[in-house]
Amino acid sequence: MDERAIIAFGQNGRVQHLDKLLPQRARLLSILRMSKTKKQPADKPAYMVLARKYRPSNFDELIGQSAMVQTLGNAFKLGRIAQGFMLTGVRGVGKTTTARILARALNYELEGDDKNETGATIEMGELGVHCQAIMESRHVDVLEMDAASHTGVDDIREIIESTRYKPLSARYKVYIIDEVHMLSKSAFNALLKTLEEPPEHVKFIFATTEVQKVPVTVLSRCQRFDLKRVEMEELVAHFAMISSSEGAKIEHEALALIAQAAQGSVRDGLSILDQAIAHAQEEQVSGADVRAMLGLADRMRIFDLLTSVLKGQASDALKQCEALFTDGAEPVRILIDLAETTHILTRKKILDDRGAAALSEAERLRVKEMASKLSMPVLSRCWQMLLKGIDECTKAPNQIAAVEMILIRISYAADLPSPLELARAIEGQSEGTSQTAGSARAGGAGTNPNSAAPHALDRAGGPDQHAPHAMSDGDGAPVSSITSTGAISTMQAQPKAAAFHEDTGNGLSSFEDIAELIGRDGGLVLKIAFEEHVRPIRFEHGTIEISLTDEAPRGLANDIKRLLNNSTGDNWLVVVTDQQGDETLYEKKQREHQSELAKVKQHPLVKEALRQFPDARITDIRAIDKSTTDTEEGER
């Protein structure tokens, strides 16, 4: 372009008369000469985040999804390639990346393969003709659509219309629809027919994080692959490889913390890793750096806090919590860390494993020490209180105040005895536990969590002792026991009450005996019907007279007669009358149960237990063999 043309072009893109532009000519020429002589700086490539820079380009680089890769590999070898694929999973596990790799595998073709003999394969050792364009989302035959911004039926109609045309250069025309659950109902309906019977050159790949929102009619037309969360060990190894490639120095503890925070999401973990490298600048990234960056509390300090809480040392717990908050730990995060530590201790007690991968050797030793001293009921109670506390804290206007109140609550509950200890304390059979029982008060009023009563971490460790502790009344007969679950049960066997006691010669002397026979030979359904709907009237040799409730099943009397005949070998007569009859066996059991319940509630031991635990209730009353109980007591 010459100087005259530039001047003649004028302003606003309109050609103007040269005479009108002459006053500006000198300035425009000066600008033109400067632009010719000024050196343009070399374009510096834009920084690419780690999640994009290290995005897998083939199935060999895809981590954590071996089951899916194996299935696809076998399907490709056998030529059993579906017309549609549904990729599901949480955010960041690689759904969109897998969709692009799958599109690349479907259209894999090497340079010079004019006969297209390569075929679809998951073994893509080198870049094919279409690979680069597909991975960069610019291939003309691989079309990506974000269903979050294209939700309507018109967008789907455009796709359906384009499926009629064969691909321009690739083997298949592939449609990748991300977040497919965002499509409208009409859009899904419009897609169904084409998805079920697409042209042979068309493949659909869907990705979604909420597969439950996808209609089952769409799911049934696709091969579904659930991309699972990547295991923590795999994430740590993957992040270590990337850190080495980037020339960043990062401790293993820091990598473990990042992998733990990622919760199985590769993208989330790489975003945190990117941030950690920038946070430490040129220095080595330590675990403390990651904790400070993510607002996590120091794990050892969490162990100290949990120890103080479970020992009932409320004042020490509040001071430690305040120090954590001052150092930058989020209030809710403190409770979450306490809950995670409780879970680690519980797993250690059950599985005796080495703990989470994010723990250091010193932390593992601390877990072993604490787990040996804590019982399962204490850990379970602490877990439940922390879960409730986390929910309360998120709703509280002042979160740190809510955390402190929750810690105080757990501290005051730390010296509560187990039901077994309470029973022994009330009975006075276990030396040293009465002090524990006395310190347990319903509302905690006047209770000092720092008192000398034995707390959760002060009690003996090892296997939990939860065998029922037998107690007796004034006559020495066993009366009741309080189990570790708080259930109060009678130990005095009650004589079986039978309405009729005439021996028929077949081992049947009462309606209760018939019920047992029906339960043994006729099944549970017939037994329940007999107990709930049959009102006894008369029992004689080979004959029973009954009346039935209004809700009795049709043919119940015939079913009873048939079973009695088959089981005894005699010909029984079952007479159904309109008389009122006695109460049913079910009503009789309920009446006797309520009577026994009232009797148990009047026992001094039970009354004292219910007074100590106002919210407790009697859940069961059952007979216990005295000889077995005596044997258990002797062993203890």
**Range(s) of the domain holding residue 569:** 511-581
What's the confidence (pLDDT) of residue 188? 92
Average confidence (pLDDT) over 227-246: 89
Task: Supply φ then ψ for residue 553, to 5 degrees.
Answer: -65, 150
Q: How many Å apart are CA 567 and CA 508, to the nearest integer? A: 11
pLDDT at 624 over 70: no
> With pLDDT > 70 as the criterion, what percentage of the chain qualifies?
73
Q: Are residues 218 and 187 in the same domain?
A: yes
- Please count the residues of the chain: 636
Closest CA to 469 of 480, 454, 456: 480
Residue 540 lies in a domain: yes
494 is written with which tokens? 């009650």
Q: Are residues 310 and 439 in the same domain?
A: no
Q: How many Å apart are CA 260 and CA 346, to the nearest integer? A: 18
Residue 95 lies in a domain: yes
Residue 469 lies in a domain: no
Closest CA to 457 of 335, 340, 345, 360: 345
530 is written with which tokens? 């007999």
What's the confidence (pLDDT) of residue 369? 87
Taking only Cα atoms into account, the Rg of the chain, rounded to an integer number of angstroms, comes to 39
Average confidence (pLDDT) over 164-193: 91
Beta strand 488-490 pairing with 480-482 = antiparallel
Closest CA to 125 of 108, 139, 106: 108
404 is written with which tokens? 């402190």
Average confidence (pLDDT) over 228-256: 88
Binning the chain into helix, strand and coil, the percentages to the nearest 5 are: 50, 10, 40
Evaluate whether 226 touches 197 at the Cβ level (below 8 Å).
no
Contacts of 594 (CB under 8 A, 6+ apart): none
Please state, in angstroms and as integers, the Cα–Cα distance from residue 453 to each residue in 78, 276, 627, following that order.
Answer: 71, 46, 35
Mean pLDDT estimate for the chain: 77
Q: Are residues 94 and 198 in the same domain?
A: yes
Q: How many Å apart are CA 411 and CA 292, to the nearest integer? A: 28
**pTM of the predicted model as reported, rounded to 2 decimal places:** 0.56
Q: Are residues 83 and 213 in the same domain?
A: yes
Average confidence (pLDDT) over 160-183: 91
Grouping H, G, I as helix, E, B as strand and the rest as coil, residue 243 is helix
Residue 481 lies in a domain: no
Q: CATH number for the domain including 521?
A: 3.30.300
H helices of 546-625, in order, are 556-568, 585-601, 604-612
Q: Are residues 307 and 237 in the same domain?
A: no
Q: How many domains does the chain have?
A: 6
Evaluate whether 290 touches 297 at the Cβ level (below 8 Å).
no
Grouping H, G, I as helix, E, B as strand and the rest as coil, residue 177 is strand
Q: Are residues 168 and 152 in the same domain?
A: yes
Please state, in angstroms and as integers, the Cα–Cα distance from residue 237 to each residue in 241, 242, 339, following that order.
Answer: 6, 9, 27
- For 426-467, what is each residue's pLDDT tens digit? 666 444 433 443 443 333 433 444 444 455 665 444 434 333
End residue of a domain, out of 536, 566, 581: 581
Residue 354 lies in a domain: yes
Closest CA to 195 of 220, 178, 213: 220
Evaluate whether 120 touches 85 at the Cβ level (below 8 Å).
no
* Residue 458 per-residue DSSP state: G
